Chain A
């Protein structure tokens, strides 16, 4: 009889004898993976959204007066002194009026009584793609506000700040759910293996006396932990995928989800989550054996 055949038979026997607690552990592991992976999925999608919004980020510098060609060049030079930018666009009063009228569409007749120069001229600054962090954007905004003739700088401060703090909060939730995943998988698997060991104390003692090697006795328990990790995490990821498909189907059409494209993990991330879960469960199993398996 080969070693692996014997070990697999032992694992089968263990699972049969303690199927109740094994099932509970499996569900707990899968739930932990589901919770962690769910928040991680939201987090990664938010990061993607952040990158996308960052690409569209522009700072609008409202000016007191329309700059002439020489002043325009001077302002461009000043802006480039802080950092290189993607593009600098000057918007005249007339251009600003026309844009506003276009935005009003059918209701543009409300502007009939208004003078065509009531909107201030502005400069639209598209920063480089590497200008990502909130602090950098804030510094750049403060720099632009100090340019001569500037009334105000706008880039949707409130929105950007809220989004930034929301992403921060999500990263903390991901961290917490990750810790939860680590603790539940290790403790639950360790507890189940401990129950199995205590329930089979007499058999393990006998196995030792008839000459079973340490590997013969330990490997089935390690394999149990490994199986719990594999099945539990695969189940968790599968549940999340079903949930993801349901959300996509349920909320497709005009609405929030059209603002950005919701995407699932690439296979490599799913495999990493499964791999880490397997490792954690096997570690839980190993630590219990070290404590309770006196061989």
Chain B
């Protein structure tokens, strides 16, 4: 696992009155305030268009908020630029809803990218890639061009890339959208293991099966606004 973003605080993510709008007058998020602790697994739920993906994009600094403050590990992300922003992004693993895979590269090459930017040793990268592919039941797809994989397989490659660099924070957008029940369980087990190893996990989903019986906090967004934050009942 990477060095924690912020050692002296238990809060990993701090969002205070965060809003995001798009021209001409689309309000994707409005006055969302929430704190997520270090090492916490956190679910964001809501219908399509509720603002889940926008919130994740703001957290990984892919986009900047229109108003409000977002701090990751005690650092206001809108103030970060250049090398500092790159270092922060290396510690955040993101599995995008649209995958963002390089479809002309192999599965192994796609996963390796997140480790290459941190200058990991080739042997470490090789071993880590093989290990992740095995855990996600994709060992036989090591040298397959990702453009030739099914949606479900591509989704798992995206997830593998997100966690490959052992980030301290993992953002996952609809991780089980294209998966069957068995693979969903496998993916969730992998994420739970990362969480147990200390990573903060934020999962945006509308798949009830993965948060219905959770003991973790679940935040519901409705039309870009925070509707509720509640802890799950099962432990």
Binds B, one of A37-45, A205-213, A271-279: A205-213
B137 part of interface (Cβ distance < 8 Å):
no
B100 and A211: CB pair below 8 A?
no
List the B side residues contacting A205 at CB < 8 Å: 100
Once A1-B125, A6-B119, A216-B117 are accepted as A-B contacts, the answer to whether A206 and B89 lie under 8 Å apart by CB is: no
B22 part of interface (Cβ distance < 8 Å):
no
Once A202-B100, A203-B102, A205-B100 are accepted as A-B contacts, the answer to whether A211 and B87 lie under 8 Å apart by CB is: yes
CB proximity of B116 to chain A, nearest CB, Å: 6
A118 part of interface (Cβ distance < 8 Å):
no
| Distance A205 CA – B100 CA, assembled complex (angstroms) | 9
Please give me the residue from chain B that is nearest to A205 by CB atom.
B100
B62 and A2: CB pair below 8 A?
no
Please give me the residue from chain B that is nearest to A216 by CB atom.
B117
Choose one: A209, A211, A214; the contact of B118 (CB below 8 Å).
A211
A3 part of interface (Cβ distance < 8 Å):
yes
Cβ contacts B85-113/A at 8 Å (1 or 0 each): 01111111010000010100000000001
B102 and A210: CB pair below 8 A?
no
Once A1-B122, A1-B125 are accepted as A-B contacts, the answer to whether A211 and B102 lie under 8 Å apart by CB is: no
Once A202-B100, A202-B102, A206-B100 are accepted as A-B contacts, the answer to whether A211 and B117 lie under 8 Å apart by CB is: yes
Please give me the residue from chain A that is nearest to B112 by CB atom.
A1
| Distance A292 CA – B182 CA, assembled complex (angstroms) | 44
CB proximity of A4 to chain B, nearest CB, Å: 10
B24 part of interface (Cβ distance < 8 Å):
no
Choose one: B114, B119, B122, B125; the contact of A210 (CB below 8 Å).
B114
List the B side residues contacting A203 at CB < 8 Å: 102
A214 and B100: CB pair below 8 A?
no
List the A side residues contacting B90 at CB < 8 Å: 210-211
Interface residue tally for chain B (C-beta within 8 Å): 26
Choose one: B87, B88, B102; the contact of A206 (CB below 8 Å).
B102
User: Which chain A residues numbered 169 to 223 have a C-beta less than 8 Å away from chain B?
Assistant: 202-203, 205-214, 216
List the A side residues contacting B82 at CB < 8 Å: 213-214
List the B side residues contacting A207 at CB < 8 Å: 113, 117
List the A side residues contacting B202 at CB < 8 Å: none
A1 and B83: CB pair below 8 A?
no
Cβ contacts A249-280/B at 8 Å (1 or 0 each): 00000000000000000000000000000000
Interface residue tally for chain A (C-beta within 8 Å): 17
Please give me the residue from chain A that is nearest to B62 by CB atom.
A209
Interface of A is mostly: helix
B116 and A1: CB pair below 8 A?
yes
CB proximity of B73 to chain A, nearest CB, Å: 14
Choose one: A3, A202, A210; the contact of B89 (CB below 8 Å).
A210
Please give me the residue from chain A that is nearest to B83 by CB atom.
A213
B3 part of interface (Cβ distance < 8 Å):
no
B100 and A212: CB pair below 8 A?
no
CB proximity of A205 to chain B, nearest CB, Å: 7
B50 part of interface (Cβ distance < 8 Å):
no
List the A side residues contacting B213 at CB < 8 Å: none
List the B side residues contacting A6 at CB < 8 Å: 116, 119
Please give me the residue from chain A that is nearest to B164 by CB atom.
A210
Please give me the residue from chain A that is nearest to B60 by CB atom.
A209
B86 and A213: CB pair below 8 A?
yes
Please give me the residue from chain B that is nearest to A17 by CB atom.
B104
B189 part of interface (Cβ distance < 8 Å):
no
A1 and B120: CB pair below 8 A?
yes
User: Which chain B residues numbered 43 to 65 have a C-beta less than 8 Å away from chain A?
Assistant: 60, 62
| Distance A214 CA – B89 CA, assembled complex (angstroms) | 13
B102 and A214: CB pair below 8 A?
no
| Distance A203 CA – B113 CA, assembled complex (angstroms) | 10
List the A side residues contacting B165 at CB < 8 Å: 210
| Distance A213 CA – B117 CA, assembled complex (angstroms) | 8
| Distance A209 CA – B122 CA, assembled complex (angstroms) | 21
Question: Could you jot down 24 A-B contacts, CB within 8 Å?
Answer: A1-B116, A1-B120, A1-B122, A2-B119, A6-B119, A202-B102, A203-B102, A205-B100, A206-B100, A207-B113, A209-B89, A209-B100, A210-B89, A210-B113, A210-B114, A211-B91, A211-B114, A211-B118, A212-B86, A213-B82, A213-B86, A214-B83, A214-B86, A216-B117
Binding site for B on A (CB under 8 A): 1-3, 6, 202-203, 205-214, 216
Binding site for A on B (CB under 8 A): 60, 62, 82-83, 86-92, 94, 100, 102, 113-114, 116-122, 125, 161, 165
